[in-house]
Amino acid sequence: MRKVTAGLFHSLDGAVEAPDQWQFDSFDDELGALLGKTLATTDTVVLGRVGYEEWAGFWPVAEFDDDFKIFINAAPKHVASRTLTGTLAWNNARLIDGDLLDFVRALKAKDGRDIAVMASISLVRQLFLAGLIDELTLITHPVVAGSKYRRLFDGAETVQLELIRNEVTSKGNVVSAYRLKP
């Protein structure tokens, strides 16, 4: 069975929204290598509507070449939305038809490499708490972002997690992967 993963940049005070506003210079070569490993094992992406709309307007026309641009433009992209309808314009993007949880369960059962949930805080939260994300990686930067940014688990009930792995990069980023505790 395929593995569903999600990774979020995270501040010490729990912010996950708009990391480009508070990451500063903490991105380092080790994080680049980690993201490269993730792309190498992933062949499918699940996105939320907001993330889809932002990325569909950016990545197809981005004026630089990098591994992520090549990956995201080519990858099959499944978009969870209650408001979008019809055919999506971005290459290999399609709307999820029916129940999200049932769709992800069915997608996991198909042949293929890993499935990455990207560009949606609420989608990551919903799928993780439903037990459908096998590995949630939080890349905690050594910064306090402040209270204006959304947190991943705001409003969630208490849930126990199990640490899968943990490492610290040269710029002080703590990369921790979790799963729900059985």
Q: What is the pLDDT of residue 64?
A: 84
- Which pLDDT does position 28 carry in this prediction? 92
The CATH number assigned to the domain holding 137 equals: 3.40.430.10
Q: Which domain holds residue 101?
A: 4-180
Q: Looking at 63-67, 103-107, 178-182, which range is the least confident one?
A: 63-67
As a dihedral over the C-alpha atoms of residue 159, residue 165, residue 168, residue 174, rounded to 10 degrees, the angle is: -20
Q: What is the pLDDT of residues 56-90, one digit of tens each?
A: 999 999 998 889 999 999 999 999 999 999 999 99
- Number of domains making up the chain: 1
Q: What is the mean pLDDT of the chain?
A: 95
Return the structure tokens found at 47.
């996105």
154 pLDDT exceeds 90? Answer: no
Sign of CA dihedral 84, 16, 44, 71: positive
